[in-house]
Amino acid sequence: MSLADAVDGGKPTDPDRPTTFISPMHRKLYDSNVTFEEYMHYAKHTRAEEEAEQHIPQGGLLQQVFRRESATLLPPGTTHHDGATSEEGIGSPGLQEKQITPSPGADDQPRRKSFLSRHSMVPEEEWRQAARALRTATWGAGFYLITTDILGPYGVGFALGTLGWGPGVALYTVFAFMAGYSGYLLWQVYLGLDSYEFPLRNYGDLAYRTMGNVARYVVNILQSLQLLLICGQVIIQNGMGISQTSKFRLCYAVCVVLFVIAGFFMGQVRTLRNFGVFSMVAVGINLLVIFISMGVMAHSPPNYGISTLGSAGSAVDATTITPDANGVYPPIIHYGGMPDSGNFVGAINGLMSGVFAYGGAQLFVEIMAEMRRPWDFIKAMWLAQFFIYAVYLIYGCYVYHFQGQYAFEISYMGLSVYGFQAACDMLVVISGLIAAGLYGNIGIKVLYNQVLQEIFNAPPLTSKAGKYLFASIVPVYWSIAFVVAAAIPDYFGFVSVIAAFCIVQFSYSFPPIIHLAYTMKKNAVLPGEGFDPATGQTRRSDSGIKRYIRGFFADRWYINVWHVIHAGGALATAGLGAYAAIQGMIDAFKIPEVNSFTCTSPLNLNA
C-alpha cells in the first residue's frame, strides 16, 4: 500500500474503476477547475511524506548552507510542469535509467510548461519525484536568505531620532513581532496548500488559491513593483557610498552606473540555493560594518556637515542641527517621547523606516518553495527575526545615544572620520550588491513566470533558451530600477514610498487577509464534503455567503476577528505612511536638481 493510500485511510484506488479524474500532471498551471479542496488533499499527502523524512539528519548550520543535495534529482534537461529543471544531473534510480523525451504527438497547450505535463507515458510517481527533486534548499540557507533580505540596521538610529526613545523602541519591538507573526501565517497557509502535484512558487500563488485570479494579479503587480523599487533603493544607496568614498571627485551618475554594471553580473545567479552562500557573506559584512561604525561613533563627533541632508533633526526640527553665527552646532540631544516639533510628516516617515526594516515577507513563499523540508522554514524564520531584532535595537540605540538628532538616515555615512567612512561604504557596496541581486532575482522570476511564460509562452526558465532569455533580462531590469530610483531626488522619501505602498501590504496586510480566506474556506468544509480522488469531483452541500459565514465562525472565530483588526490596522498605517511619503516627496521635488542623473552628489554640500 502506498503512503498516499495510507493517508486516505488504507483504501487503495482500483486502477480498473471508471473515473473522471484528471491527473494533476495534465492540469494547466492556473486551472480554475482545480478546487480549494483538491489543493488541500494533495498538500496533505505531501506533508505526510515530508513528516516521514524528519528523522533524516541534516547536519550543522554551515553544512546546511554549503551542502549540495545528491539524491532524488532529475537527469539534465528533465523538467516539471511548472518549468523547473534539475541542473545537478543526478537522478533517482527510476529516472536515471532512461532519459525522458517528449513524443511527437504530445499535447501542445500553450500554458503547459514542460513535456512531463504532456507526456502521458511518464509514470505519475516519477512525475512526483521530479517535482520533489527540485526542492534542495535547507533551513540554514533559508536563515541566511531571510537575514540578508531583512537585515539593514543603518536607518534605525535615524528612526529613533524621529520617534524618541520610548515610541521608537516600542514600535520596533511591535513591528518585529508582527512581522514574525505574518511569516507564521504565511507558513501555515503554505503547508495547507502546497504539494508536489500543485507546488506553490510565489506570494501570488497563495493569493490565487485563497482568493482567485484578481488577487493574484494585484499581488504580483505589487510584488514586482516593490522588488524593482527596493533594487533601485539599494542602487542609489551604494551609488552615494561610492561617491562619498571618491570625495565627490567622480561624477555621481558614474558612481551609480558602476554599481548597476556590477549588478548585471550578480544578477546572473538564478537559484536561491546558490544565493545561500552569498547571503552568508553579506550577513558577515553587515556585522563588520556595524562593529566598525560603532567603534568610530564612540570616539568621534557626528558628521555635522551632512546633517541637513538626511539626519533625524532635519526630518523633525531643523533648528536642532542649525549652527549659530560662529559655526558651532547645537549639542546632541535625545527625546524620551515623540519630538515636540509639530512635524507630523517627519515622525510618520520615521515610522515607515521601521516598517521598511522588517519588509522581508514578500520573499518568504519563494524561500519555502525551494526548501527540501518547508516544515523547517518556521525555525529559520523565527531565528532570523530574533537575530535581526536584537541587531536593530542594539545598533539603533547605540547610534542614537552617540549621535542623537545628527543620526543620519544611512548611519555609516554619518561618520566624521573619512578612512572608516570609506571602508564602510565599500564593504556595504559588496553586501548591497548581494542584496540587490536577491531582489532582482525574485523580481525577474515573478516577471518571467507570470508574464513572459503565462502570457507570451516563453520557454521554461531552466531550459537552455530560458537561461539565455533570463540572462538578457537582467541588465534591462537593473537599468529600469536605476532609472526609476534615480528620478526621485529624496532617498528618505523614496524609502517611505516603498514602505507605505508595498512593504506594509506584504508584511502586515496581506498575511492576515490570506490566512483569513484560507481559514474560512477550510473550516467551511462539512463532514462528507471534500475532494474525491477516485472521481476527481469535489462535493459541497452549499455555496455563497452562507458557506463563508460558516467558515468564519466554525472554529476559533476570535482569531478570525483578530485578523480582521490586524489587517485593518495595517491598512490604516499604510494610509498614514502614504500621506507622509507623498507630502515629503512634494517638498523634495521643489529642488529637482538633486537626483542621480547629474554629476553632483546629493551628499556634496560644496557643489
Give pLDDT tens digits for 2-24.
Answer: 344 433 433 343 434 444 567 78
Same domain, residue pair 378 and 327 = yes
> In residues, how long is the chain?
607
Q: Which of 127, 343, 154 has its CA nearest to residue 241?
A: 154
- Residue 132's pLDDT is 66
- Residue 205's pLDDT is 93
Residue 40 has pLDDT above 90, yes or no: yes
Over the stretch 348-391, which tens digit does the pLDDT of each residue have?
777 777 777 787 788 899 889 888 889 899 999 999 999 999 99
Same domain, residue pair 387 and 312 = yes
Strands 537-539 and 530-532: antiparallel
The burial class, CB within 10 Å (0-12 / 13-18 / 19+), for 340 is exposed
Expressed as residue numbers, the domain containing 120 is 3-34+69-133
Answer whether residue 559 is part of any domain.
no
Same domain, residue pair 269 and 349 = yes
Give the chain's domain count.
2
Element (H, E) at 573: helix 557-588
Answer whether residue 57 is part of any domain.
no
Q: DSSP assignment, residue 600?
A: S
**Residue 24 CA, distance from chain mean position:** 28
- Residue 113's pLDDT is 39
Question: How many other CB atoms are found less than 10 A from the CB of residue 277?
Answer: 15
Torsion angle, CA of 499/505/506/507, rounded to 10 degrees?
70
Q: DSSP assignment, residue 332?
A: P
- Residue 90's pLDDT is 27
Residue 72 dihedral angles phi and psi, to the nearest 5°: 50, 45
Inter-residue contact 190 to 50 (CB < 8 Å): no
- Residue 595's pLDDT is 58
- pLDDT band for 593, please (50, 70, 90 cuts): low
- Residue 501's pLDDT is 85
Answer whether residue 550 is part of any domain.
no
What CA–CA distance (Å, rounded) separates 198 from 37?
12
- Can you list the alpha helix ranges (DSSP code H) found in 305-417? 312-316, 344-357, 364-369, 377-403
Residue 539 dihedral angles phi and psi, to the nearest 5°: -95, 125
Q: Which of 147, 156, 145, 151 has its CA nearest to residue 412?
A: 156
Residue 405 dihedral angles phi and psi, to the nearest 5°: -70, -10
Beta-bridge mates of residue 311: 408
- Residue 511's pLDDT is 96
Mean pLDDT of 469-474: 91
Answer whether residue 605 is part of any domain.
no
**Rounded to whole angstroms, what are the CA distances from 223 to 154, 216, 594?**
24, 10, 28
Beta-bridge mates of residue 527: none
What CA–CA distance (Å, rounded) separates 398 from 395?
5
Q: What is the mean pLDDT of the chain?
A: 80
- Residue 145's pLDDT is 81
Answer whether residue 541 is part of any domain.
no
Same domain, residue pair 430 and 576 = yes
Question: How many other CB atoms are found less than 10 A from the CB of residue 47?
Answer: 17
Same domain, residue pair 185 and 97 = no
Return the percentage of the chain with pLDDT > 90, whole number.
40
Same domain, residue pair 431 and 511 = yes
Helix (H, G, I), strand (E, B) or coil at 540: coil
Residue 483 has pLDDT above 90, yes or no: no
What CA–CA distance (Å, rounded) separates 450 from 219?
11
- Residue 125's pLDDT is 67
Question: Which position has the higher pLDDT, 46 or 19?
Answer: 46
Question: Which position has the higher pLDDT, 19 or 95?
Answer: 19
Mapped to the 3 state alphabet, what secondary structure does 172-234 carry? Answer: HHHHHHHHHHHHHHHHHHHHHHCCCCCCCCCHHHHHHHHHCHHHHHHHHHHHHHHHHHHHHHH
Same domain, residue pair 432 and 508 = yes
- Residue 10's pLDDT is 38
Torsion angle, CA of 345/350/356/357, rounded to 10 degrees?
180
Over the stretch 194-217, which tens digit does the pLDDT of each residue have?
998 899 988 999 999 999 999 999
Residue 453 has pLDDT above 80, yes or no: yes
Mean pLDDT of 228-254: 89
Inter-residue contact 165 to 157 (CB < 8 Å): no
Over the stretch 310-326, which tens digit does the pLDDT of each residue have?
899 988 888 999 999 88
- Residue 213's pLDDT is 92
- pLDDT band for 108, please (50, 70, 90 cuts): very low
Same domain, residue pair 409 and 460 = yes
- pLDDT band for 1, please (50, 70, 90 cuts): very low
| Lowest pLDDT segment from 215-219, 444-448, 521-525, 569-573 | 444-448
- Can you list the alpha helix ranges (DSSP code H) found in 27-150? 36-52, 61-66, 93-96, 115-118, 124-133, 139-150
pTM for the full predicted model: 0.80
**Residue 465 CA, distance from chain mean position:** 27
Helix (H, G, I), strand (E, B) or coil at 513: helix
- Residue 400's pLDDT is 97
- Residue 591's pLDDT is 61
44: left (phi over 0), alpha (psi -120 to 50) or beta: alpha
Which grid coordinates are listed for 208? 490565487
- pLDDT band for 443, please (50, 70, 90 cuts): confident
Beta-bridge mates of residue 50: none
**Rounded to whole angstroms, what are the CA distances from 162 to 290, 321, 404?**
21, 13, 10
Check which CATH number belongs to the domain holding 324 and give it.
Answer: 1.20.1740
Q: DSSP assignment, residue 462?
A: T
Q: DSSP assignment, residue 404?
A: G
Answer whether residue 549 is part of any domain.
no
Cβ neighbours for 549, distance < 8 A, ≥ 6 positions apart: none
Mean pLDDT of 267-290: 83
**Residue 165 CA, distance from chain mean position:** 29
Question: How many other CB atoms are found less than 10 A from the CB of residue 310?
Answer: 22
Same domain, residue pair 340 and 391 = yes
Same domain, residue pair 237 and 291 = yes
Mean pLDDT of 248-276: 85
Mean pLDDT of 95-116: 36
Return the percentage of the chain with pLDDT > 70, whole number.
79
Inter-residue contact 96 to 127 (CB < 8 Å): no
Answer whether residue 607 is part of any domain.
no
Same domain, residue pair 129 and 176 = no
Same domain, residue pair 111 and 174 = no
Answer whether residue 491 is part of any domain.
yes
Residue 142 has pLDDT above 50, yes or no: yes
- Residue 554's pLDDT is 87
Q: Which of 55, 208, 153, 534 has its CA nearest to residue 358?
A: 153
Mean pLDDT of 538-564: 92
